[in-house]
Structure 1
Amino acid sequence: MSSQPLKIVVIGGSAAGPKAAAKARRLDEHAAITLIQKEADLSMASCGFPYYVGGVFDDRNQLICTPAGIVRDPNFFQKAKAIEALVETEATHIDRAAKTVTCTHLPSGETRTLSYDRLVIATGATPLRPPVPGTELDGIHTLQSLGDADALRAIRDAGKVRKAVIVGGGLIGFEVCEALHLAGIQTTVIEKTDSILPFLDRQLAHLVENEVRRQGADIITGNGVAAFLGEDGKLAGVKLDNGTELPCELAVVAVGVRPNVALAEAAGLEIGALGGIKVNARMQTSDPAVYAAGDCVECRSLITGEAVRAPYGDLANLQGRVIGQNLIEPDSASFPGITHTGICKVFDYTIGFTGLNAEQARASGISDIETVTISGLDIPGYMGGKVLISQMVAERATGRIIGFQCIGPGDASKRVATVAMAIRGGLGIEELANADLPYAPPYSLALDHVIVSAHVLENKLKGLMRGLSAVELKERIDSGAECFIIDTRTPQEYEEERLGIGEHLIPVGALRSRLDELPADKSQEIILYCKVSMRGYEAAAALKANGWTNVKVLEGGVLAWPYPREK
């Protein structure tokens, strides 16, 4: 007599849940699999929402269909995967002792109890809203669900909104900013902290701010929303912490998310210190028969070993796949953790990151670090190369790479992916500096941007170069510190654009014949730069060989300078 089929219930139908269910089905044709989804749609490509809102494409079904163009609705799940998908159905109670889930079909109110052998919780997260007056006003939106995307797309298509604010200067905030701006809506991003995009170094974040403002949108930092202002129940503006009032007819709140753990918590499952469901490497909760994945869980940082929250769709899919295998073949798969890698498009810039920036590293207790900022092209200029600006972070003692950020109009994506794998593999600077990466002029420089980053950081670690960032140089200038600044570019470059910080123009080719123009006190600080600071580095080496002892290079040069320049 054959055994009864395995009964699997999956709560959550966005990313992790459908992935776990589909993987389980591929491994067990006879398991009874039920998927419970509170929303009307299933398996949504949520990272595509801003581009649907912005009109990059018009068919919303592209967000919920397979590569073959088949919409992932309950009929698809039933026919193609033999999975029963219950949409517009909310799971309301888990009885772990009886191994049952109670759920309610929202339109009808009909209640149903499902039994399980193994349960998956993929309940996602809920957008946070600032605890200020006026949040109930009509005109305040988030962008978490496909319904949210539909609402914002309808506003865009109607063409009646003229001014909007985005509350929150993170990834989603700037993607929505671009979407609304492309629709002709005057958009302002409001960020409560002093810097946007918290995963970026402040210098790189400042460069992104410059790009956003160049495109015609505005950014306000260091100032949060104190209240939403309304007229007749509709949003009319926002009041900032400093008392400033901005008129607007639309506000999109993107200040983060809260894990949806109420169902798991009521079932007695362990919740971690960061507010997410606690899971092990096999994605099991404190109940071995219950698994959890996606935005509702905590996972482990591969850099610090500490628990982190990482509400990203790609990770949800990876975790769901691990669960799907363990549902059928227990303890056969694991999810080791994350390097915290992400990327987004903001107007003409790509913004990518992996690992920790310097500030995050120090906050995590990794204080003995070295950083380097460089700028350059992604491919040769004769192939239409575009600018990239990046910062790499490594431990001084071991050379282990722990972070990388890359921004600009160039191809940052593959550079971030390369370093993400280097971090995942525990590589050090010396190993990355000699990596055998693909080279051809349409795709890369002979020494790729990542390789150059590793070379310059290796030089710093070996004491061959002393560098300082644009932020550090600006602080010196503002404080009145005594330093001798040399621009080593050509006169033509200098006439076209200059930093205007009291620099002396001494082209690198003329430097050795003009040493008498330099400070007689050879211990005085001298700072050199050029367009990307390669010539600055060569000039620094020449000065050190001639006895100057306090010579530094402005990392990234003119291209990475985020402050106003003279033209």
Structure 2
Amino acid sequence: MANKKIIVIGGSSAGPKAAARARRLDQNAEITMFQKGPDLSMASCGFPYYVGGVFDERNKLLNTPTGVVRDPKFYWNAKGIKAVINTEITRIDRENKRVEYINHQTGESGQQEYDKLIIATGATPNMPPVPGINLEGITTLQSMQDADYLRNIRDEGKIKKAVVIGGGLIGIETLEALHLAGIELTLVELFPQLLSFLDWDMAKLIENYLKTKANVITQNGVAEFIGTNGKLEAVKLQNGTQIPCELAVVAIGVKPNIKLAREAGIEIGQLGGILVNQHMQTNDPDIYAAGDCCEIPNLITGKNVLAPYGDLANLEGRVAGENMIMGNTAKFPGTIQTGICKLFDYGAGITGLSEIKAKEAGFDFEVAVNASFDKPKFMGGQLLITKLIAEKNTGQLLGAQCLGPGEVSKQLAIWATAIKAKQTVEDIVCSDLPYAPPFSMAVDHSIATSHVMENKMRRFFKGINGPQLKEKLDNGDAMFILDTRGPDEYENMRLGIGETLIPVGMLRKRVEDLPQDKNTEIITYCQISLRGYEAAMFLQGLGYKNVKVLEGGVAAWPYPKEK
């Protein structure tokens, strides 16, 4: 029996993983991987940190854990995989089961037959269709060449002002990288908020933090790039504002690379990605696809999504690689779209559905916000703010958003595992998680968040979030707003919304200072609203019938505060 011929198109993430999996399962297969560019297996999510100088050796983005560069020689010697770089596949001939290619370095063209083929062509950065887009000084951060260009700018230290266009994951990480280079920065986002996968109230907390590092402009897009003699000098916004700069990094998302697949008659979905089944198989049984070029199902809504994440690309590639050898024995069920980014001293991320997405999907759900620390203060604990979404009738977890200087990744990992397992709030409230003061609170932040949700769902207290309270204030609703913090905290920073300060330790002695009408709407809070919750329960015990806790307290208040 002839050896199976495997062709992999794409050498970044999904492609190399598929090739490696195929090799491990079949030592005799003839595996060829074609890469359009000069580099293989790039750790592209590490580009911002290379640009920012977190590490200086370029090859660390290409190395194995033992420090060997993943180049064609490595792939052949270590894996028996023929890796062909600087070579683009120009056509897939499905009828004759072969591909046509051209080497952009030598001009050599040719063709090669396959038994099984995987398309892992990735995605291309979106670029704004505005004048001046081709000026020198405008770049993305999608390729190793982009990373080299921006790292060189950092090392030279000549550029003093830059604009980052796009407030998503890559835009914000690029902002940090250029900030580390000492460049004066402006971040421009067309939509009303940064990090569009978060709800507005959570994204606003990120925006408030980033404004301490850079100029942040939302609800304003790019109208034109202005330059002289072919070089960028300014970015003109849609409202007419001109921002002088010598560098602009465009990070407004990506679109799947599907030209090759479309021309070959591979089925494309409504979102513009290649359609695959749970085996990562296309409508051609001998052709698979994986990575950013594909559409995959959201496990909660059942609808297809584009999820251009490096971890998913590797998982999809592994499944496709096995199935090309073993015959559809492996499955990739879909995604819950877990994402995280680092922004200076903060982390921010989501797993599952946001409140907006849960509404769009038609769920009847409850929302809870918790602010607490990742470990005890005496161990250097840092703040975390989590917004949890759960289905009302069943308590099934639908989504969690987390941000802050605390250990965000741990929290998202907990929630992602729980959501994937279709766990409920009840499953989390008594979770047996590891505890020691260097690592967590006795009641971990995730468990404390589930307690807040449980208390709300069991109607032990009523909650109100920042936007809901702001709407009531704007409407002029009659309320008694009770700040239960200490006087020192109040003097240092207060909300300035007409609140009355009664520290929780004084509340029992100052009952006469409370409204006499037990039907008065009372809003209680503190820094994180733990004391606010204690006060609410006390007030309910006194017979007050309309008490609400401001969830997340001062820490989660997304609007200006008085200092």
Q: TM-score, normalised by structure 2?
A: 0.99
1:43-76 deviations in Å (ceiling 9; x for gaps): 0000000000111111110000100100001111
Secondary structure at the aligned position of 2:49 is classed as helix
> Which residue of 19, 35, 38 maps to 1:21?
19
After TM superposition, list the pairs within 5 Å mapping 1:73-152 onto structure 2. Answer: 73-152=71-150
In 1, Cα distance between the equivalents of 2:366 and 2:131? 44
1:500 partnered with 2:513: no
Q: Which runs of 5+ in 1 are unaligned?
A: none
Alignment-derived partner of residue 359 in structure 2: 362
In 2, Cα distance between the equivalents of 1:199 and 1:276? 19
In 1, Cα distance between the equivalents of 2:464 and 2:516? 23
In 2, Cα distance between the equivalents of 1:446 and 1:304? 34
More deviation, 82-91/131-140: 131-140
Instruction: Letter of the 2:530 partner, please give it.
Output: M
Secondary structure at the aligned position of 1:485 is classed as strand
After TM superposition, list the pairs within 5 Å mapping 1:187-206 onto structure 2. Answer: 187-206=185-204
In 2, Cα distance between the equivalents of 1:391 and 1:448? 15
Q: Quote how far apart the aligned CAs of 1:361 are.
A: 1.3
1:120-158 deviations in Å (ceiling 9; x for gaps): 000000000011111111111001111110111111111
Alignment-derived partner of residue 184 in structure 2: 186
Instruction: Letter of the 2:311 partner, please give it.
Output: D
Q: Quote how far apart the aligned CAs of 1:227 are.
A: 1.1
Alignment-derived partner of residue 49 in structure 1: 47
Secondary structure at the aligned position of 1:287 is classed as coil
1:540 partnered with 2:536: yes
Alignment-derived partner of residue 309 in structure 2: 312
Secondary structure at the aligned position of 1:426 is classed as coil
Q: Quote how far apart the aligned CAs of 1:566 are.
A: 2.6
1:226-246 deviations in Å (ceiling 9; x for gaps): 111111111111111111111
Alignment-derived partner of residue 33 in structure 2: 35
In 2, Cα distance between the equivalents of 1:42 and 1:92? 19
1:520 partnered with 2:516: yes
> Which residue of 194, 197, 211 maps to 2:209?
211
In 1, Cα distance between the equivalents of 2:360 and 2:225? 33
Q: Quote how far apart the aligned CAs of 1:273 are.
A: 0.8
Alignment-derived partner of residue 421 in structure 2: 425
Alignment-derived partner of residue 65 in structure 1: 63
Identity score, percent: 58
Instruction: Letter of the 2:85 partner, please give it.
Output: V
Alignment-derived partner of residue 322 in structure 2: 325
1:245 partnered with 2:242: yes
Instruction: Letter of the 1:250 partner, please give it.
Output: L
Q: Quote how far apart the aligned CAs of 1:201 are.
A: 2.0
Alignment-derived partner of residue 560 in structure 1: 556
In 2, Cα distance between the equivalents of 1:199 and 1:523? 39
> Which residue of 447, 456, 460 maps to 2:456?
460
> Which residue of 434, 444, 459 maps to 2:440?
444
Instruction: Letter of the 1:365 partner, please give it.
Output: G
Instruction: Letter of the 1:331 partner, please give it.
Output: N
In 1, Cα distance between the equivalents of 2:265 and 2:493? 64
Secondary structure at the aligned position of 2:274 is classed as coil
Alignment-derived partner of residue 372 in structure 2: 376
In 1, Cα distance between the equivalents of 2:481 and 2:525? 8
In 2, Cα distance between the equivalents of 1:451 and 1:468? 20
In 2, Cα distance between the equivalents of 1:89 and 1:6? 22
1:271 partnered with 2:268: yes
In 2, Cα distance between the equivalents of 1:9 and 1:533? 58
In 2, Cα distance between the equivalents of 1:491 and 1:159? 47
In 2, Cα distance between the equivalents of 1:167 and 1:119? 37
Alignment-derived partner of residue 489 in structure 1: 485
The number of aligned residues is 563
After TM superposition, list the pairs within 5 Å mapping 1:1-16 onto structure 2. Answer: 3-16=1-14
In 1, Cα distance between the equivalents of 2:104 and 2:488? 70
Alignment-derived partner of residue 254 in structure 2: 257
In 2, Cα distance between the equivalents of 1:524 and 1:119? 69
Secondary structure at the aligned position of 1:109 is classed as coil
1:337 partnered with 2:334: yes
In 1, Cα distance between the equivalents of 2:243 and 2:378? 46
Alignment-derived partner of residue 224 in structure 1: 221
Alignment-derived partner of residue 471 in structure 2: 475
In 2, Cα distance between the equivalents of 1:506 and 1:266? 70
In 2, Cα distance between the equivalents of 1:223 and 1:459? 41
Secondary structure at the aligned position of 2:193 is classed as coil
1:501-539 deviations in Å (ceiling 9; x for gaps): 111111222223322322233222110001111111111
In 1, Cα distance between the equivalents of 2:158 and 2:176? 17
Instruction: Letter of the 1:227 partner, please give it.
Output: E
In 2, Cα distance between the equivalents of 1:93 and 1:184? 45
Q: Quote how far apart the aligned CAs of 1:324 are.
A: 1.1
Q: Quote how far apart the aligned CAs of 1:284 are.
A: 0.1
In 1, Cα distance between the equivalents of 2:264 and 2:54? 43
Alignment-derived partner of residue 343 in structure 2: 346
Secondary structure at the aligned position of 2:481 is classed as strand
1:285 partnered with 2:258: no
More deviation, 357-366/149-158: 357-366
In 1, Cα distance between the equivalents of 2:371 and 2:199? 14
Secondary structure at the aligned position of 2:211 is classed as helix
In 2, Cα distance between the equivalents of 1:398 and 1:189? 41
1:275-301 deviations in Å (ceiling 9; x for gaps): 000000000000010000000000011
Q: Quote how far apart the aligned CAs of 1:546 are.
A: 1.7
Alignment-derived partner of residue 294 in structure 1: 291
In 1, Cα distance between the equivalents of 2:520 and 2:163? 48
More deviation, 519-528/381-390: 519-528
Q: Quote how far apart the aligned CAs of 1:118 are.
A: 0.2
RMSD of aligned alpha carbons: 1.0
Secondary structure at the aligned position of 2:2 is classed as coil
